[in-house]
Every structure is written in C-alpha cells, then in structure tokens.
Structure 1
Amino acid sequence: MELTREIYWNVGRGVLLPMYLLAFAAIGVMAWGVWQRIKVYRQGLPLERTDNLQERILAALRRVFGQSLVMRVKGPGTFHGIFFFGFFLLFIGTTLVFIQADLTDPLFDWKFLSGGFYLLFSLVLDLAGLAAILMLGGLAVRRYLKRPEGLPNVWDNALMLGLLLAILVTGFVIEGARMAVTEVGINPRLAAWSPVGLVVAKTLSGMSEADLRTLHQGTWWLHLLLTCGFIVAIPFTRFRHLLTTSANYLFAERRPKGTIATLDLEDEQAESFGTGELKRFAWKDLLDADACTFCKRCQDRCPAWATEKPLSPMKVINQMQQLAFEPPGAGLIDTVSKDVLWACTTCYACQQTCPATIEHVNKILDMRRHLVLMEGEFPGEEVATAVDQTEVNGNPLGMAFAGRGDWAADLGVKTLAEDPEVDILYFVGCYASFDKRNIKVAKAFVQLCQAAGLKVGILGKEEKCCGEPVRKLGNEYLYQTLAAENIELIKGYGVKQVVATCPHCFNTLGRDYRDLGFEVPVEHYTTFLHRLLQEGKFKIRPEAFTATYHDSCYIGRYMDIFEEPRALLKAAGGTITEMERSGLESFCCGAGGGRIIAEEKIGTRISETRAKMAAGTGAPLLVSNCPFCLTMFEDGVKGAELEGTLAPKDLAELLVERLSLT
C-alpha cells in the first residue's frame, strides 16, 4: 500500500479559499496589534542597537532555536524548552504540508511526503505533539497546582495554556478520526508510524464511519479557528514573547557587561538628567518592559527580595509595562517607589538569569540619577554625608586625603610622585587605604608582588575614590569629576599597567573610564597573581585548609572571573566547599550599588544571609577577594552570631601566609 496520506481528506480542496481568508485575516490583525506596540516603543529615546547586525542575527538565532537561556533553569526551563522544540517541529511539519499541498503538487505534480521519508515525518510529528502536550501539563501543574511562592498569575496564563493544549489535542483528534476510517485494520504499517494518532484512532474505532467523518470535519474547522485565534492573540497576550523575546535577543547589549551610559553633563539642550518619566527611557527599555514573561527568575535571585526588601526586578519591569501601555496614572518613580530603587545592589543576578535578556539594572540606575541630579535625594543622611566626604576628602569614609598612603610606609613602596618608574600602579581604593581590616589585604598584595620581583607604586594622597559608589547611587556629576582627576593623574605619570584589589575599582577603571579616554590596561589582583604564580614569579607553600569561596558580583557575574581565584586557593592547599549559591548563581554580600555607604534599614541584612549560607557548608573560612565583601562579612558574621565558627578572610592574606621565600 502507498505510504502517504491524502492531505485534505474528508474536507476537500474547497476549504482552501475560506482557510486562507481566515489565515490572512488573523495575520492582518496580528500585524496591526504588533504595530500598535511598536508605536509605543518608538516613543522612547533613540539608542543604537543595530551595530554588527550579522553577528546580532546569528546570536539571536542561536538563542531562539537553541533555547539556551530558557533551559538554564531545570524544571520549568526544561519544560518550556522541550515544548518549544515540539511545537517548532509541528510548525515545520505544517509548513511542509502546505508546500506540497498548495505548491509542489498542484504546480509540478510532485509529492515528496511519501515513502520512508513520510513514515519518519509522521513519527517525528506524533512524538513532538505528545512531548508538547506533556510539557504543557508540567507547566500547568507548576502554575496552578504547585505554584511557587511569588509566581504571579495574570489573566492570560490560562488562555495561553488552554489555547495551546486545545490546538494540540484537536490535531490528534483529527489524525485519529482519519486513521480510524482509513488505516485501522486497513493499512497497519502506515498506522504504526503515528503511534499517538493510532491510540486515538483505536479509542474512536467504535464510532460509525459517518460519525467519524463528521467528527473529523468539525474538529478540522475548530482546529483552524483555534490556530487563527492563536495568531490573533500574539500581540495582545503574553504570547507576544514569541516576538519580543526574539527581538530582545537581536537588540541585546553587546558592550561589556555592566556598562553604564556616560551622561554628557555639558549638554545645554538636556531638559533633565536621569529618568524621571517613562518617555525619558530608550526604545529598548520599553521593548524590555513588554518582553517579560513573569517567570520570576530575576526575583528568585535578587538578594534584596530574598531579604524582605520591596525590590522585585520583575515587578519593576512590569510596572513600566503598565505605565507604557495602559492609561496614564501615577508617575514613574512614584509607581516604582524610592525604597525599591535604593534597595538594588546592582549585583547583576537579575540580568544574568533573565531568559529574555531584559536589562534591569541600568533602568534602576537611571531613575536613581534622576532622584540625585534633579531632586537632590539620597537614601539616607548617612549617604549624603558620605557623598560630601567624597567630594571634600576624596573618600566616603571622611578620612584626611593626606594619610591615604600611610599604610605602605613600612613596605618600601613609593608614590609615583616620588618615583614614577614602576612595573605596576596599585590603585588601592578607599577601603584598603583607610580601613584597618582591609589595609592588611593591601599589604599582603604588595608583599606578593615584591616576592615576584615587581616594583609597585601607588598614588598615595593624590589618589581619589574611583567614583563607583557615588555613581551607582546616581551622582554622575561627582563620579565624572573624580574620574577626570584620576585619569589625568595616571596618564601624567605614564603608567603602563594598573592592578586593583577592589573589584569595584577594577570595573570602573577598566570599563567605565574608557568612555572618558582612559586606555591603560587594568587587571584585578586575582588574575594578576594567578598569572605570576603560573609563570613561577613567586612560590606558594601549600598548607591544608578548608574554606568556602564567595564569588563577588563584580568579579564573577560582571567579569566572568571564576577559575583563577579557586586555582590560587587550591595552590595554597585549600579544599573548597562550595556554597549552594556560587559561580554565576552567587549571592551578593549587600555592598554593591553604593550600598556599602548606606544603612540597611529594611528587612534582614544581606550580609548575614550570605554568612549563614557560608556557615552552612561547615567550612571555617569564608574567602573573598573584595574589600566591600570583606567589610560586609565581618559585620555579617557578628550579626549572625557566627564568631568562632566562621572567619572572613581575603585571598591575598591566605597566599601571603604561605609565601615561600626560598
């Protein structure tokens, strides 16, 4: 018997005209709906996101068809990914049917859906449809029966699940009714290659042929109408993520992670700085607001949300979406709320985990800029004081700038003003210059460099805060003032390389200062020391110890530096017991986003939460590589009453204790 099937069996080719009229009408409504949303995006400010277009297109295609960002999270991510692949295979199958039925067969008398290829075609589509139904069931159970805390249910959840399920089920009913008439007991070889359809056919086999034909024809039209309804619903429901997420992949940020737009503060045409109104966001920000799928991955990984702060990155994005697409109501910042904006630690966990590549952090920073630059607001008096101290003394701690290099007096380290001929400039940062606990880290780093035969120089009293904390709190003006002074100073000395022990200084000098003309190579001490150790420039005497390692946000997620610090720990004899939240999933210490100089007044302390995670590993040492993290952990261990159980320590301290001088 022939190994193929009649495509328009029982409905006839007379359905072509109404079918295509319905399909084109549905596509027309969808296109109109999409254009209405595009008009809203176009209200945003210009932003260049079409550079390297070929690379962008290839990257977007890899993400869409590989489902790599979606499937990073087991469970719902896996369900969604498998459903996508199943539904996509069904789409390909429908397209092949259209090509044969309406193009190659009537025009060229060529039927390629036959023989062995058709058997494989039938099997793949049956299994794809079954997989899609099962995955929808899993997603429905998660959404309605075992809904995780904080997972919102919006009105179109049920519509989306129900409509997709109805499309898939009616497809199998159509197949089963046809097979019950034409294949069961007649063409068993062909029927065997459609196993799901065969099960349905046997279930329906008790019906008369007339009833089966009526069922088939009625279900065929229902299936068509459901499919057209799906097409129409795309721009008006969260089905739109099929388009908006794909577009987000295409227009994703391609600059280094964490890049912040440098404001032109001399622009006399600027009406305001920062973003206090939705119209002051770029068009990509409005597209972002429309791309959220309410998956709550960002919320699950937000350290502020996890410690009872009001910040939910998901909620911020959806509040923006509501303001953009619903009748005008409250203002942007009043809707989001100031407490939400100030709670962000800029840890980047929300953006790193978002399957739609939504850019949460810079939106919050832009609103902070408006609060500070246009309204003169800070999250508290202590922050206003720290900002004033930074402006007067070049550091937020209020210490006299003249004593910034005193810590190095007994190490033989000279300032560049005394001797500019050095191998590296150590940009010390505020905490390692003035904070007693972090001065130990600065000394340890210098001793390691000296053991490697390197001549280290510092700026001493000429060095000023890199400006990162005040910038992340919204004070772009003070940041640029500090940056300009640091850049001019370093350039003037002809420095060849800068090394920082502070990840915030490292990111700021190595990335943000580029916008201001700074081109000197900048490296964090972990990768710098790792390279020196590999080159045999200094030796470490391994002594066994057990520790847990904290991936600071500005080294880990921002710069993808994960292996080098761990390699140094192992070289020192360390056995690392990882926390559950480590690597890209690491949990913030609570100091980022300028929070190092702000009191934590709402919820529980982030540093205490992280200290408890570290204590849960049973390791006696909590190792970090950031002065902000070390400071927070010293307080967090005390606050969590873990003294005597857990001791915070910097990586440089462990290395210098094991420094081999032979």
Structure 2
Amino acid sequence: MEATREIYWNVGHGVLIPMYLFAIIAIGILVYGFKKRLEIYKIGKPLNRFDNRDERVRLLLTNVLGQTKVLRVAGPGTAHALFFWGFLILTIGTTLVFLQADILHPLFGVKFLKGLFYKLFSITLDIAGLVAILMMIGFFIRRFFVKPEGLETVKDDYIMHGLLFAILVTGFFVEGARMAATELKNNISLAYWSPVGFFVANILRGMSESSLLALHKGLWWVHLFLAFGFIASIPFIKFRHIFTTSANYFFTDLRQKGSIDTIDIENEEAESFGVSKVNEFTWKDIFDADACTRCKRCQDRCPAYNTDKPLSPMKLILDIGEAAGSGAETNVIEKVTKDVIWACTTCRACQEICPANNEHVNKILEMRRNLVLMEGEFPGEEVMMAMDNVEVNGNPMGMGFATRGDWAKDLDVKIMSEDSDVDILYFVGCYASFDKRNQQVAKSFIKLCNAAGVKVGILGKEEKCCGEPVRKMGNEYLYQMVAMENIEVIKGYNVKKVVTTCPHCFNTLARDYKDLGFDIEVEHYTTFLWKLINDRKLQIKELPFECTYHDSCYIGRYMDIFEEPRDVLKVAGANVKEMSKNRYESFCCGAGGGRIIAEENIGEKISVKRVKMAEETGADMLVSNCPFCLTMFEDGLKMAELDEKIKAKDLAEILVERLENQE
C-alpha cells in the first residue's frame, strides 16, 4: 500500500466551512488584540527602528530561527529552544497539510504527502511533538515544583502551560485513534513511521471501531478549538511574546553598545528633559514590556538586585508597561520609585543576557535626567557636592585643578601646553590624577610607554573630568559643558591618538564625544599595551604568579575586550584562575552608573560580594584595569576582612614589576 493517509479521515470535508469560519474569528481576535496593543505603543514618542532593514532582518532570522540569545543560558535556554524548534516543525507540518488538502490537491490534483516523503514527514512531526511535550513537562516541573528564586508565576503561566500541553497531547491522541482504526489493522509497517502515534494507538487498540471513530471525531474538534483558542489568546497574555520578542530583534539598537541620546540642552522649545511620564518614553520603551518573557535572566545577573537593593531590571520593564496601560500621563517615576532608579550601576548585564532584546539602562538614565535636570533631585548630598566640584574644579573630588598634573613630576612625560610633539595623548582621568592609589597606575603606564619608546603627553591642568559619572547620574548639562571644554583643548593640539587607563573615560571619549564632534582615535591602555608587546616594542619578563582577573563592565560588556588583558597577564607569567562570574557574565564592582560618587546605603556592598567571588578562586591577587574597580576592590577587601589575604592590583602595575626585574 502507498505510504499516505486521508487527511480529513472520519470528519469529512464538511468540516471545512465551520473550520475556516472559526479560523477567521480566531485570527480576527488576534488582529484586534494587537491593534489595541498598538494603541498603547503609540503613546510613546517616535523612534526610527526601521533603518538598515537588511541587517535588522538578519538579526530577526538569526535570533528567532537559531534561538541565539535564548541559548546563552544552558538548561532553561536549551529547553526553550528545543520546544520552539519542535513547535515550529509541527506548525510547518500543519501548513503542509493545509497546502495539500485545501489548495494543491482540490485545485490542481497535486498530492505530495505520500511515499518516502510522507514517511519522513510523519516521523519528523512525531519526534518534534514528543520533544515539545517533554520540554513542556520540564517547564512545568521547574515553574510549579522547583520554583527558582525570583521566578514569578502568574495566571498567564497556568493558561499557557495548560493550553500548549493540551494541544500537543490531543494531537497525538487524534493521531493514535486514527491509527488504531486504520494502520494497526491494514498497514502496520506504515504505523512504525509514527512512533508516538503508534504508542498511543496501542493504548487505544482495545476499543471498538465505533468508539474509536467517536473518540477521534470528538478529539479532532477539541484539538481544533484548542489551536484556535491559542491563536486568539496570543495578544492578551504572555503568548504575545511570540510576536513581540521576535519583532524586538528587528528593532535592535544598531548603534555602538552603550550609546546614549545626546539631548539639545540649548533647545528653548523643550518643555522638559528626561522622562517622568509614560508619553515621554519612546514607543520602543513601552513595547519592551510586551516583549519581556519574565524569564528573570536580567534579574539573576543584576548586581543591585543580588545585593538586596530594590532594583529588578525585569520588574522595571514590566512596571513601565503597567504604567503605559494606565494612560499617557501616568507618572512612571512614582511607579518605578526613586530608589530603583538610583540603584543601577549601568553595568549592562541585564541587556547582554536578555533573550527579548529589551533595553533597560537608557530607560533608567532618562528618568535620572528628569530627576536631576527638572527636579534638582540627587540620590544624596554627596552626589550634589561631587557635581558642584566637577563644575568648579573639573573633578568630583574638589581638588584644585592646577594640581591635576602634579603626579607626573619627575616622569618622562610632556605637558601638552609646553610640548605637543607626542605619539599619544594620555587622558589621565580624575582618579589617576588625584587618588594616590590610582596615581601608581598612571605612573606605571608612563613607565611602560617610556620602555617601549612611546612619547606621551598629558593635558595637566587643562584636563577636566570626562563627564561620565555626572552624565550617568543624570546631569547631561554638566556633562556636555566639561565634554566640550575637553574636546576643544584636545583638538587644539592636533592629537592623533588618545589613550586612557580608565574604561569610563575610554567609552566616553571613544563613543559619546562623537555626538559632540570629537573624531580622534581613542584606545584603552589594555589593548594599547598588548599591541606594544605583540610588536616586541615592550619587553616583559615572565615571572610566574597566580591571580584572578575582573572584567570591568565598561571594557568587557561595553567594548567586548576580554582576551587581550588575559593575554597580557599570561605574557607576564600569570596563571589566571577565573571567577564564577567572568567575561560577559562578570559581576560589577558597584562603581558604574555614577555610583562611584554616591554612597551605597542599601543592602550588601556590591564590591564585597565581588571580592568574595575572588576569594573563592583561591588566588591571592585580584587584577583589574579600571580605577573605579581598583578603588572599590580596595574598600571591599577591607570591609570583607580579606585585605591580608588578597591584594588588588592594576594590570599596568604587574607589567612594571616585570620591567623593573629584568636583568
């Protein structure tokens, strides 16, 4: 017998009219639901996320079909991907049945579901369905029995799990009832190509033929209405992420990672700056709430949440969505709360891991802008004082600007105002200029450059804070003021290249200053030194030692620089013992997002939690390449009473020791 089956077996072609009628109703409800959601998105301000469509389509297909971002987390991520692929194959299979039964065969006499193709079609769909069911069981156990901390279970979860499981199981019982009445009796060899259906058919084979027919017809309609119920419910519950999460890949921010909108402070027509109400967000900010799958990956990685602060990136996104549902004028800051807004370190761990491609950080920064620029509010008096110091003296410490270059006395480094014939301009930053501990890093960098024959210049008293901490705290006006002054000075010397030892300065000069007309090459000293070593211009003696390395957020997640610092350490003789949280998963030191100038008064100190991770490696040295990280780790080690056990060092200090010890 030919390997095939009658598609409308037992139910007859008379079901076509009611079936398509109900299909139209289900699709109509789906369209209506999304139309209502669209009205909510439109509350937000315009934003162009339709440019560069080829790249956007590529991201969409890669992430949806390949489940790329979902698979970044083993376990639940793998299970979700397998379920998605299984359900996708079932959907494709249903579409093929529709094409043959309702279009190609009645109109053109074409029948392709037969022979070997039908056998492969049948076994593929059975395996896909089985995988989907097994994954659903896994999801059910995880959500309702294991209950991972922070995983919220709401009414939608019961509906989704029940509906999907019912669709899959009834599908197999419809197949099993058909096979029990047909293939088990007259084509057993074909039945083997539907292994799950064959298993169910054997369970049902003791039933009478009339009972099998009745069971099949009844379950066929149940299965059909469950499928239509699934379609109709999508816009109204968490199922909508099937569309919204997929669309969010298309709506990816294609700018350089960490980019922030540079607002026109001089715009006299602007009624306000930043965001306090829902309608001051963009439509994408509101759309993100619908794309959120509540998977809590962002929350699991948030340093603020994991040190008992009130910020949950997941809840932040959902709160904005709830506020949007309450109306355009809803005060979103009151909904989110100020403690949540100030707690963020802008480490970007949430955005890096989010499988829905949501954008958390800039939402927080926009609300901070409103609090600072419109309300004059700060997380504490110390922040306001630091901003005053930046405005008056060009640094948050309040040190006299004229002493900014004093650390470089007696070093082979040029002051640009005296001699601008240099290979690189070293933008020192505030901490390396005024903090004694970080001055050692600056001195080490100069010595390394001297050893490599690189002529270095500094701005000295002409340099001001890059503006990053005050900008991340919401003071866009002060940021632009000091930034423009720095740009004017640097450009005046016809500098070809700027090198920084501070990742925050690096990100700001290399990315943010571009919006203000700065077009000079900027490099972090980590990659700069690695190139010098690689080109054999800088000779480092290998002296074996053990350490653990901390990936600074603004070098790692923001700039994707992970291997160069490790390679430099290995050249110096390091055995790097990785912390449990490293590279893209690295745990913030707690200083980012302007938190370096703010007191940490809620929960556990983030730096303490991080140095405890370093302790777990057994290494006696914690290496970083960021002045903020170094400062936080020195404090964290003391508070954790680990300062006698672990020493915090900068990468440059380790290399200088290898210079000093060369024979």
Q: Secondary structure at the match of 1:303?
A: coil
CA distance in 1, matches of 2:365, 2:139: 34
| 1:493 aligned partner | 493
| 2:573 aligned partner | 573
| 1:521 aligned partner | 521
CA distance in 1, matches of 2:85, 2:48: 32
| 1:373 aligned partner | 373
| 2:190 aligned partner | 190
Q: Secondary structure at the match of 2:632?
A: helix
State the shift of 1:214 in Å.
0.4
Paired residues of 2:40 and 2:324 also in contact (CA < 8 A): yes
CA distance in 2, matches of 1:621, 1:276: 44
Q: Secondary structure at the match of 1:622?
A: strand
| 1:272 aligned partner | 272
| 1:562 aligned partner | 562
Q: In the alignment, residue 268 of structure 2 is paired with which amino acid? A: E
Q: In the alignment, residue 100 of structure 1 is paired with which amino acid? A: Q
CA distance in 1, matches of 2:342, 2:643: 30
User: Which deviations, in whole Å up to 9, do the C-alpha atoms of 1:116-159 show, x marking residues without a partner?
Assistant: 11101000000000000000110111110001111111111010
| 1:49 aligned partner | 49
| 1:590 aligned partner | 590
| 2:140 aligned partner | 140
Structure 1 residue 121 corresponds to structure 2 residue 121 = yes
Q: In the alignment, residue 550 of structure 2 is paired with which amino acid? A: H
Q: Secondary structure at the match of 1:522?
A: strand
Paired residues of 2:466 and 2:505 also in contact (CA < 8 A): yes
| 2:647 aligned partner | 647
Q: In the alignment, residue 457 of structure 1 is paired with which amino acid? A: G
Q: Secondary structure at the match of 1:273?
A: coil
Q: Secondary structure at the match of 1:94?
A: helix
CA distance in 1, matches of 2:175, 2:570: 61
State the shift of 1:635 in Å.
0.1
| 1:351 aligned partner | 351
State the shift of 1:43 in Å.
1.5
| 1:99 aligned partner | 99
Paired residues of 2:277 and 2:328 also in contact (CA < 8 A): no
State the shift of 1:453 in Å.
0.5
| 1:503 aligned partner | 503
State the shift of 1:464 in Å.
0.1
| 1:221 aligned partner | 221
CA distance in 1, matches of 2:69, 2:133: 22
Residue correspondence of structure 1 range 432-447 to structure 2 within 5 A? 432-447=432-447
- The number of residues matched between the two structures is 662
Paired residues of 2:588 and 2:606 also in contact (CA < 8 A): yes
| 2:31 aligned partner | 31
Paired residues of 2:412 and 2:450 also in contact (CA < 8 A): no
State the shift of 1:55 in Å.
1.2
User: Which deviations, in whole Å up to 9, do the C-alpha atoms of 1:540-590 show, x marking residues without a partner?
Assistant: 000000000000000000000000000000000000000000000000000
Residue correspondence of structure 1 range 306-455 to structure 2 within 5 A? 306-326=306-326, 331-455=331-455
| 2:541 aligned partner | 541
State the shift of 1:268 in Å.
1.6
CA distance in 2, matches of 1:93, 1:454: 65
CA distance in 2, matches of 1:412, 1:403: 18
CA distance in 1, matches of 2:108, 2:244: 38
Name the stretch that deviates more: 464-473 or 265-274: 265-274
Q: Secondary structure at the match of 1:426?
A: strand
Q: In the alignment, residue 111 of structure 2 is paired with which amino acid? A: K
Q: Secondary structure at the match of 1:206?
A: coil
Q: Secondary structure at the match of 2:191?
A: helix
Q: TM-score, normalised by structure 2?
A: 0.99
State the shift of 1:328 in Å.
8.1
CA distance in 1, matches of 2:368, 2:102: 57
Aligned CA distance change for structure 1 residues 250 and 28 (closer, same or farther; 3 Å): same
Q: Secondary structure at the match of 2:409?
A: helix
State the shift of 1:331 in Å.
2.3
Residue correspondence of structure 1 range 149-168 to structure 2 within 5 A? 149-168=149-168
CA distance in 1, matches of 2:318, 2:470: 27
Q: Secondary structure at the match of 1:623?
A: strand
Q: In the alignment, residue 113 of structure 1 is paired with which amino acid? A: L
Q: In the alignment, residue 543 of structure 1 is paired with which amino acid? A: L
CA distance in 1, matches of 2:210, 2:329: 58
Q: In the alignment, residue 111 of structure 1 is paired with which amino acid? A: K
State the shift of 1:458 in Å.
0.2
Q: Secondary structure at the match of 1:184?
A: helix
Q: In the alignment, residue 391 of structure 1 is paired with which amino acid? A: E
State the shift of 1:54 in Å.
1.3
Q: In the alignment, residue 501 of structure 1 is paired with which amino acid? A: T
Residue correspondence of structure 1 range 170-249 to structure 2 within 5 A? 170-249=170-249
CA distance in 1, matches of 2:293, 2:640: 36
State the shift of 1:321 in Å.
0.8
State the shift of 1:326 in Å.
3.9
CA distance in 2, matches of 1:358, 1:327: 21
Q: Secondary structure at the match of 2:304?
A: helix
Identical counterparts, % of pairs: 65
Aligned CA distance change for structure 1 residues 329 and 370 (closer, same or farther; 3 Å): closer
CA distance in 2, matches of 1:482, 1:155: 51
Q: Secondary structure at the match of 1:575?
A: strand
Aligned CA distance change for structure 1 residues 600 and 76 (closer, same or farther; 3 Å): same
Q: In the alignment, residue 315 of structure 2 is paired with which amino acid? A: K
CA distance in 1, matches of 2:103, 2:328: 49
Q: CA RMSD in A?
A: 1.0
| 1:296 aligned partner | 296
Q: Secondary structure at the match of 2:425?
A: strand
Q: Secondary structure at the match of 1:284?
A: helix
State the shift of 1:185 in Å.
3.5
Q: In the alignment, residue 383 of structure 2 is paired with which amino acid? A: V
| 1:66 aligned partner | 66
User: Which deviations, in whole Å up to 9, do the C-alpha atoms of 1:232-282 show, x marking residues without a partner?
Assistant: 000000000011101110011010111000011111221100001010001
Q: In the alignment, residue 495 of structure 2 is paired with which amino acid? A: V
CA distance in 2, matches of 1:363, 1:326: 18
CA distance in 2, matches of 1:139, 1:410: 65
Q: Secondary structure at the match of 1:457?
A: strand
CA distance in 2, matches of 1:105, 1:287: 42
Q: In the alignment, residue 384 of structure 2 is paired with which amino acid? A: A
Paired residues of 2:345 and 2:594 also in contact (CA < 8 A): yes
Q: In the alignment, residue 407 of structure 1 is paired with which amino acid? A: W
Q: In the alignment, residue 385 of structure 2 is paired with which amino acid? A: T
Paired residues of 2:191 and 2:198 also in contact (CA < 8 A): yes
CA distance in 2, matches of 1:110, 1:123: 22
State the shift of 1:639 in Å.
0.3
State the shift of 1:107 in Å.
1.2
CA distance in 2, matches of 1:354, 1:344: 16
List runs of 5+ in structure 2 lacking aligned partners.
none
Q: In the alignment, residue 28 of structure 2 is paired with which amino acid? A: G
State the shift of 1:327 in Å.
6.2
CA distance in 1, matches of 2:584, 2:199: 45
User: Which deviations, in whole Å up to 9, do the C-alpha atoms of 1:355-409 show, x marking residues without a partner?
Assistant: 0010000000000000000000000011111110010000001110000001111
List runs of 5+ in structure 1 lacking aligned partners.
none
Paired residues of 2:553 and 2:588 also in contact (CA < 8 A): yes
Q: Secondary structure at the match of 2:91?
A: helix
CA distance in 2, matches of 1:514, 1:258: 13
CA distance in 2, matches of 1:55, 1:622: 40
Q: Secondary structure at the match of 1:648?
A: strand
CA distance in 2, matches of 1:337, 1:326: 16
| 1:251 aligned partner | 251
